[in-house]
Amino acid sequence: MRREVPLAITAIVGFALIIVYFIPHPPFNHSRDFFEDLFFIIAAFAIWLGCLNLLKVNADKVYRQKKGWLFSVVVWFGFFLMVIVGFWEGRGFMNPGTTFYYLYDKLYYPLNATMFSILAFFVASASYRAFRARNKEATILLIAALFVMLGRVPFGYYLSSWLPEGWRLGNITDWIMDFPQTAAQRAIMIGIALGIVSSSLRVLLGLERTFASGE
């Protein structure tokens, strides 16, 4: 029961969706629509599960007075601040001018944007400390990076504007992106596609069952 039911659900749903790709007509397309509608609701519950689990983990930290428990209180505060305001505002909570929108603009936005922006400093530091032309492969990587970095900004134009059209940094960058870069990305893409196809098949045939057993 614990293992067989999930495996059966997976196989039924998965094969129904594969069949409908080849026969997109009733009744198969109705089954697809039905499963997809269920999927949306489960996906939303999965988001709630994540949120509730976050609260649970942080509540545990506060209860046991673990190191840094005060920050767990801050997590709870942030969560309930948004939830209370969001529920209070009702369906138009996203409208500019609402308190929810204000909190989004003045708290969520700066925190989120700054969190990612500090990566700029680490990229710069890594470029200086670790980006070395130690061997042939690393040299190719480094040269491509330099071309793209300069060729993708106006600065590159001024550096190479004395060269004939077609040989400027921007043109070379375009060529790198359009041909060798595309070729390598395509190889990666095809490789990943084959991997996904084979693992999907393993899941649907019940050969891969880790998701259906064990916590």
Say if residues 75 and 54 touch (Cβ distance below 8 Å).
Answer: yes
Among 25, 65, 67, 121, binds other proteins (CB under 8 A): 121
Please, which of residues 130-189 interact with other proteins by CB under 8 A?
A: 131-133, 136-138, 140-150, 152-155, 157-158, 161, 170, 174-189
Establish if 82 lies at the interface with other proteins (CB under 8 A).
yes
CA dihedral 59, 60, 64, 66 (to 10 degrees): -90
Cα(50)–Cα(155) distance, integer angstroms: 45
To other proteins, the closest distance from the beta carbon of 66 in angstroms equals 14
How far, in Å, are 60, 76, 79, 81 from residue 56 at the CA level? 6, 10, 12, 17
Please, which of residues 95-114 interact with other proteins by CB under 8 A?
A: 95-96, 100-114
Establish if 33 lies at the interface with other proteins (CB under 8 A).
yes
Establish if 77 lies at the interface with other proteins (CB under 8 A).
yes
Establish if 69 lies at the interface with other proteins (CB under 8 A).
no
Say if residues 13 and 39 touch (Cβ distance below 8 Å).
Answer: no
CA-angle at 88, arms to 85 and 89, nearest 5°: 85
Cα(155)–Cα(136) distance, integer angstroms: 28
Establish if 31 lies at the interface with other proteins (CB under 8 A).
no
Cα(35)–Cα(16) distance, integer angstroms: 9
Q: Which is nearer to other proteins, 83 or 163 (CB)?
A: 83
Establish if 59 lies at the interface with other proteins (CB under 8 A).
no
To other proteins, the closest distance from the beta carbon of 64 in angstroms equals 17
Cα(64)–Cα(58) distance, integer angstroms: 10
To other proteins, the closest distance from the beta carbon of 135 in angstroms equals 10
Among 18, 27, 63, 66, binds other proteins (CB under 8 A): 18
Establish if 28 lies at the interface with other proteins (CB under 8 A).
no
To other proteins, the closest distance from the beta carbon of 34 in angstroms equals 7
